[in-house]
Amino acid sequence: MNVRRFWTLLTLLFWAPLAWAEVRMPIMELTVGFHRIEAEVAATPEHRVVGLMHRKSVPQQRGMLFVFPQVERHCMWMRNTFLPLSVAFLDEKGVILNIEDMQPETENNHCAAKDARYALEMNLGWFKSRGAKAGTPIGAIDRAPKAM
């Protein structure tokens, strides 16, 4: 390997994780009963690809809302995601279809039980500890931006 290629590779290895970590997404407020969620919104292809990758922690009230351009049986995985998460798949009205628990740095598919418009990721066990389950509505979902 020549010296120039070596320095290019070294630079990429150092800066790439920092670039991923600096992706800023809009934040909106959602509710589950009287529980408040600060949801980062992943409504663009670029934001949906990055998701919560490379994060070391997420505050308990913080999550990520994935807004999909079409209603279908979406699936999530945990590649390059260092936190255990629970994902709730939501229909177009924001009603929880199902909740799946996901382990860090795995590539298992976790899929919606039915056609979904949204997926809401929170820290592992967040939904269960607040009594949220299939059939629970997520408040303020109607304010979510359209997917691109």
> Is the backbone of residue 54 left (phi > 0), alpha (psi -120 to 50) or beta?
left
Q: Which of 69, 131, 123 is nearest to 96 (CA)?
A: 131
Tell me the pTM.
0.84
Answer yes or no: are the C-beta atoms of 81 and 21 closer than 8 Å: no
Q: What is the pLDDT of residues 9-19, one digit of tens each?
A: 444 444 445 44
Structure confidence at residue 8 as a pLDDT band (50, 70, 90):
very low
Residue 80: per-residue pLDDT:
94
Answer yes or no: are the C-beta atoms of 76 and 110 closer than 8 Å: yes
Q: What is the pLDDT of residues 50-83, one digit of tens each?
A: 999 999 999 999 999 999 999 999 999 999 999 9
Average pLDDT, the chain: 89
> What structural domains and CATH numbers belong to the chain?
25-143 (2.60.120.1140)
Q: Which of 28, 30, 26 is nearest to 136 (CA)?
A: 30
Whether the per-residue pLDDT at 6 is higher than 90: the answer is no
Which helix H or strand E contains 81, and what residues bound it? none
